[in-house]
Amino acid sequence: SRWLTPWDRQHILEELLRLEQAGKPRCLIATQVVEAGVDLDFDLVFRDLAPFDSIVQAAGRCNRHAKRDKPGELWVAELEDDEDRDRSLASYVYRSTLLNQTRNLLQEYMTFSEDQIALAVVEYYHRLSNSVIPDELWTDVVKGHWGTVHPLYPEQIPEDSLLIDRDGSVAKLLEELQSLPLTIENLSRRRTINRLLSQHAINVRPKLLEEWENRLGGFMIGDKQEILTRTASWWLLHPPGIEKVYSPEAGFIPLKYSEQYALLGPKGANP
């Protein structure tokens, strides 16, 4: 998940590889970040509905090293939103055109083997090209409306940086960074500190962080340490917030899911 810090994500991958090499059972619940560039191998992959090419990417984590006597299996299901049963979770992430063509293809090919994937991918893109409706940008180009301006990318939802401090070391780095004068002599050290801090940083929508801030309401541990603080540049989660606001295994925990995590997490607790 992108709500895991790079440091935690790397350690999870290392642990999965260690278990794989030891031949021990393992189970990973992850977002699509594991679909490319991650050398993991599982007997079974369960994937929520996605564009067909993303499903094929997920299949690449199944029997990746071809060490098993029988083929691995990939199962695809369409998960529903608990709060809106008429809408799938995939619809919040992917365009309807991509999902519709994937549904149609999977309904016709309820099962298929690895040697059929290449033809299925060609069929998917063929159907996709025939179903795409020209967008406003292309329509204006064809009509010669050169003065009309269209954004090239969808509007991005703003996010804030959240630094995860598990043992107090991140706070010390921040203190050092803030104490260093902005001089040429300190440039190298400032870059080193920023690189170290980036290993413990994630991006989260401000609304989700503010919900936690309001819930905690200046909640203090002992007589001086807060759980969550913020400046104009970033938010800082102090050690008491681990397993409450952030989990090294699950990542950032939105407030609305904190009670569920408290029941499942190893040390989860509500403020």
Residue 51 lies in a domain: yes
In this model, does residue 150 exceed pLDDT 80? no
In this model, does residue 13 exceed pLDDT 70? yes
4 vs 223, which has greater pLDDT? Answer: 4
Residues 99 and 173 in one domain: no
The boundaries of the domain holding residue 116 are: 31-132
**Side by side, which strands form the sheet with 160-164?**
201-204, 160-164, 235-237, 228-230
In this model, does residue 145 exceed pLDDT 90? no
Last residue of a domain, one of 92, 112, 132: 132
Residues 92 and 181 in one domain: no
Residue 57, C-beta contacts closer than 8 angstroms, at least 6 positions apart: 32, 35, 36
Lowest mean pLDDT among 140-144, 149-153, 212-216, 221-225: 149-153
In this model, does residue 154 exceed pLDDT 60? no
In this model, does residue 186 exceed pLDDT 80? yes
Token couple for 92: 């919040």
How many Å is the Cα radius of gyration of the chain? Answer: 23
Nearest CA among 102, 104, 106 for reference residue 91: 102
What is the number of domains present in the chain? 2
Residues 172 and 218 in one domain: yes
Residue 83 lies in a domain: yes
CA dist 40 and 37 (Å) reads 9
* H or E segment to which residue 198 belongs: helix 187-198
Reported as half-sphere exposure (CB side, CA atoms, 13 A), residue 49 has a value of 25
Mean pLDDT, the chain, as a whole number? 84
Q: What is the pLDDT of residue 36?
A: 62
Lowest mean pLDDT among 2-11, 69-78, 116-125, 127-136: 127-136
Backbone angles phi, psi at 80, to 5 degrees: -100, 155
Residue 16 lies in a domain: no
Over residues 132-151, mean pLDDT: 59
**Whole-structure pTM value:** 0.75
In this model, does residue 209 exceed pLDDT 60? yes
Residue 154 lies in a domain: no
SS3 for 50?
Answer: coil
Nearest CA among 159, 167, 235, 148 for reference residue 204: 159
Q: Which of 61-70, 104-113, 259-268 has the highest mean pLDDT?
A: 104-113
Residue 137 lies in a domain: no
Residues 118 and 181 in one domain: no
Residue 37 lies in a domain: yes
In this model, does residue 271 exceed pLDDT 50? no
Q: What is the pLDDT of residue 269?
A: 41
SS3 for 165?
Answer: coil
Residue-wise pLDDT tens digits, 87-100: 898 988 888 888 99
Residue 219, C-beta contacts closer than 8 angstroms, at least 6 positions apart: 226, 227, 271
Residues 172 and 244 in one domain: yes
